[in-house]
Amino acid sequence: RKEVEQDPGPFNVPEGATVAFNCTYSNSASQSFFWYRQDCRKEPKLLMSVYSSGNEDGRFTAQLNRASQYISLLIRDSKLSDSATYLCVVIHNTDKLIFGTGTRLQVFP
Amino acid sequence: DAGVIQSPRHEVTEMGQEVTLRCKPISGHDYLFWYRQTMMRGLELLIYFNNNVPIDDSGMPEDRFSAKMPNASFSTLKIQPSEPRDSAVYFCASSPGGQENYEQYFGPGTRLTVT
């Protein structure tokens, strides 16, 4: 079983829709959580951190559920430019980032 | 700052040949990471350095892979001999260390094809 699991998608949604991705992690000792975004044929970039209390950045909301060991990302009012792969990232007690395989989002007009 | 620089951007080589990938991290960053990305396995950490010292190479697939960081501004990942299953995108990333170590800055990647 992978340490970080994501539904690969693709999620195909119309502009303006709300879409949510989940990610589960297996190591209960995981300490920090993030979402990265990767555009097609580009490098990954940090999107946002995920805190137990929730974290909102404009149209994006990230949540952490430690008891169930999952992380979520909610995108409201989807834009065409949101089309990308979203990577769930977990850190244990080292400097290593553990990446999920990503969830692909395609927003259509 | 120019960001993380990788070369070459594309590499096509024949099985059995030696391949060397290069990376220049962001100046002042203490950490350097090498990743490999494929459709099947996603983004995998191969090795990482802290202050030019290899800390964890448990992700290096086998002895055919080696990585060096002779100074703070340069690192190489070498595959010798290369095999078709090594075909992937190889990313180098750097991070400042400390409390902000979770934000890794990736280079544009090297797309390797081994025929």
Query: Which tokens sit at A36?
Result: 């990265």
Query: Which of B23, B38, B43 is best to mutate for the A interface (most A CBs within 10 A)?
Result: B43
pLDDT reported for residue A31: 83
Q: What's the sign of the alpha-carbon dihedral B15, B16, B20, B21?
A: positive
B102:A43 CB<8 A: no
Alpha helices in A57-100 (DSSP H): none
Q: What is the pLDDT of residues A6-34, one digit of tens each?
A: 988 899 999 999 999 999 999 888 888 99
pLDDT reported for residue B1: 63
The span from the CA of A18 to the CA of A15, in Å, is: 9
The span from the CA of A33 to the CA of A31, in Å, is: 7
- Residue of chain B nearest A46, judged by CA positions: B103
Average pLDDT (A60-66) is: 94
For residue B26, count other CB atoms closer than 10 A to its CB.
18
Query: Which tokens sit at B22?
Result: 């290069």
Q: DSSP string covering B4-64, please?
A: -EEE-SEEEE-TT--EEEEEEPPTT--EEEEEEEETTTEEEEEEEEETTEEEE-TT--STT
Phi and psi (nearest 5°) for B100?
A: -100, 20
B55 touches chain A (CB under 8 A): yes
A95:B108 CB<8 A: no
Which residue numbers in chain B have pLDDT < 50?
none
- Residue of chain A nearest B5, judged by CA positions: A43
Q: In what order do the strands lie in the sheet with B74-79?
A: B5-7, B19-24, B74-79, B65-71
Chain A residues within an 8 Å CB radius of B46:
none
A97:B41 CB<8 A: no
B5 touches chain A (CB under 8 A): no
B56:A94 CB<8 A: yes
Q: What is the pLDDT of residues B44-65, one digit of tens each?
A: 999 999 999 999 999 998 899 9
B94 touches chain A (CB under 8 A): no
For residue A41, count other CB atoms closer than 10 A to its CB.
9
